[in-house]
């Protein structure tokens, strides 16, 4: 039996929350997306991050949205250690729930209204 190697899509630059949502909405089960590389807890914390305020805020929104997607059963979140204090943060698309008559957009709107 021949297996297909697992590949991870890596963004060419910093990924936005909107780009992450677009990927979640269209990704077939098993697709992998590296949404951040570094040390997420430190990279989003103002005292330790080397990112500017805008980039750090976008990263925090992205991290929150990734966690939300995992809570909704849309993705698995994993980390791969790259070296000391450096990780690849990866979302793996899960099969869309059968009861998912609502689109990702509807879920986002529902969350925003709450």
pLDDT of residue 36: 95
Distance of CA 104 to the CA centre of its chain: 14
CA–CA dist 114, 95 (Å, integer):
26
Quote the tokens at residue 81: 């250690």
Give the C-alpha separation, 100 to 6, whole Å.
26
Q: What is the rounded distance in angstroms from the CA atom of residue 77 to the CA atom of residue 63?
A: 10
CB atoms within 10 A of CB 15: 21
| pLDDT one digit per residue (tens) for the chain, 114 residues | 555 556 676 767 789 999 999 999 999 999 999 999 999 999 999 888 888 899 999 999 999 999 999 999 999 999 999 999 899 999 999 998 766 555 666 666 666 666
pTM here is 0.78
Q: How many CA atoms lie within 13 Å of 97's alpha carbon, on the beta-carbon side?
A: 14
């Amino acid at each position: 039996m021949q297996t297909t190697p697992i590949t991870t899509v890596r963004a060419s630059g910093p990924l936005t929350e909107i780009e992450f949502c677009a990927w979640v909405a269209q990704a077939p089960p098993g697709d992998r997306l590296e949404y951040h590389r570094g040390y997420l807890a430190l990279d989003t914390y103002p005292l330790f991050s080397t990112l500017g305020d805008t980039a750090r805020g976008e990263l925090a929104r992205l991290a929150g949205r990734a966690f939300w997607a995992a809570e909704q059963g849309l993705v698995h979140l994993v980390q791969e250690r790259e070296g000391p204090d450096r990780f690849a943060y990866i979302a793996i698309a899960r099969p869309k729930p059968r009861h998912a008559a609502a689109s990702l957009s509807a879920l986002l709107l529902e969350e925003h209204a709450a």
